[in-house]
Structure formats: structure tokens, C-alpha cells
Amino acid sequence: MLRFSANIEMLGTQVDFYDRFELAKRSGFDAVEFWSPEGKDLQRIASLSKEFSLPVSSLSGDGPSFSLCDDSHRKGYIEYAQSAIEAATLVGAPLIVLHSNALGEGGVVMDSYADVSEHRLYMNMALTLSLLAPYAQKAGIKCVLEPLNTHVDHKGNLLHTIADAVEVVQAVGSPAVQVLYDLYHMQIESGNLLSVFAQNKEHIGHIHIADNPGRHEPGTGEINYRTVLTGLEDLGYEGVVAFELSPLSTYEKAVEAIMALKTFV
């Protein structure tokens, strides 16, 4: 059975951040995840994770000041990602999430590098990940590279298809570097969610879920998540599916829609 994780940056915001662990457990989630470890009490998170038997499925590995595709950011990017790996180790998270470009408030792309060739930007990404990978592998942490949609939420983001993300991962050639398949983003970019997964499943290490349009809970948009989740399981996906979404109306209604999917997988 697929395990369901709640992104507690977007779900449960009606209570204090640290109270969201208990809320997620009571709501039926099997894990939680969050974004930046900065400013968070990691020891407390580790304690709450243990208290409620609620593993942390992932956390963000890149900060708003550094772009993976910018070679002038390489030293700072790697140092920040290393600190994220240390944070992941402390809270017991197996994954850190990486992006091609630095993202500001609301996910705004800080620099689209319009004056730099895409070839160079992709080579920069592969080289930086190659240098980071041995550190991640030694720590037992995987780096998952997430493409983002450029039509609605992240205009100017370099990495916006699974195919390109897989090419980068293949170029790096490390078991510590895989792809994050965000079904909301990739529905906007290309659709064909199950066939894309089937073609690339050996490289996919994590999945995010939200419906489209709106990035709300399943059942509010065009994606048939009953079919999609059953299909992912049939295709052999054994990881976590993380609900990174904002409730359309209330947290309770969003959770009800999410948990209804457990009867199908």
C-alpha cells in the first residue's frame, strides 16, 4: 500500500507548525514533510517524529540564494545542500528536494538566465550534482531533482520536464541522485502521467500530489487520482506519495478527499 505524506507547510496551517505532527497523525497520514530546515527546531522535529511514529519523508535541499544551474553559485549551493543533508540526517528524512533555479517568495524564479545557453545551464547542474552526490551517498540521503511547471507557477524555471530531469540524473550516474515526479506540475507541462512514470520509473524517487487547476486536493480538478494512484502501485512504485497542496475550502474537507483514496490503493 502506498504511504501518504502531508506537506505541513501547506496542510494544517490553522495550527502551530509543531502541532501539525499530531494533527497529521490524527488525520491518517503516514509521514510528513516540510520545506526549508532553516529556522526550525530540528531536535524538536526529530522528537515529534518519533513520538507520533510519523517519519519525515523529505525536506528542501536548496536555498533561495543559490541556483543549481549557475556555475558561479556552485560552492555556495553545495555547502547549503550539505547542511540540508545534515538536517535530513538529524530528523531521519531519506530525501532532500532540489531545483534548477533559486526560488523566492511564492516560488518566483529569481533568475531565468536568459542570456546563458541551456546547454551550459544543464552542464552546470550535472557537474554540481556530481560533486554533491558522493556526500549524499555517504550520508545515506538521496537528492531528488524536481521539474516545475513554467506555465502557471514558475515562469522562467529551467527544468520543467521529466525527460530533461532524467537526462541530468543519467549524466550524474549516481544512486544518490533521482527525480521527484510532481504530478500537479507535470500534468500542466505534459499530462500522460502514468505513461511518463512507466517510461522513467527507475529514476523516480519521490512523488508529489495536487490536483489541477488550483493545486488543491484530489477531486477538485481534472486528474483522476483513483486511477493514477492505482496505476502507480500496479507499475511498482513503492515510495511515498506526498500531498503538497492547499485546501480548496477547509483542512477537514481536504483530508477527507485525500484519505478516501486509501480505499483504492
Report how far Cα 126 is from the mean position of its chain's Cα atoms.
Answer: 19
DSSP output for 25-78? HHHT-SEEE-S--TTS-HHHHHHHHHHTT--B--EE---TT--TT-GGGHHHHH
Task: Count other Cβ atoms within 10 Å, centred on residue 142.
Answer: 23
Gap between the terminal Cα atoms of the chain: 6
The sign of the dihedral angle between the CA atoms of 19, 182, 210, 239 is: negative
* Residues 142-154: tens digit of each pLDDT: 999 999 999 999 9
Position 264 scores a pLDDT of 78
Residue 265 confidence (pLDDT) above 90? no
Share of the chain above pLDDT 70, in %: 100
Q: Which residue has the higher pLDDT, 265 or 19?
A: 19
Residue 10 belongs to domain spanning: 3-264
> How many separate domains does the chain show?
1
- Return the residue matching grid coordinates 486509501: 262
As a whole number of angstroms, the distance between CA 209 and CA 245 comes to 7
* Residues 83-117: tens digit of each pLDDT: 999 999 999 999 999 999 999 999 999 999 999 99
As a whole number of angstroms, the distance between CA 69 and CA 113 comes to 9
**What is the domain-level CATH number for residue 246?**
3.20.20.150
* Residues 230-262: tens digit of each pLDDT: 999 999 999 999 999 999 999 999 999 999 999
Q: Residue 76's pLDDT band (boundaries 50, 70, 90)?
A: very high
Residue 176 CB partners (closer than 8 Å, separation 6+) = 133, 134, 136, 137, 141, 142, 143
Q: Residue 69's pLDDT band (boundaries 50, 70, 90)?
A: very high
Q: What's the mean pLDDT in 25-39?
A: 97
Closest listed residue to residue 30, CA positions, set 11, 51, 48, 54: 54
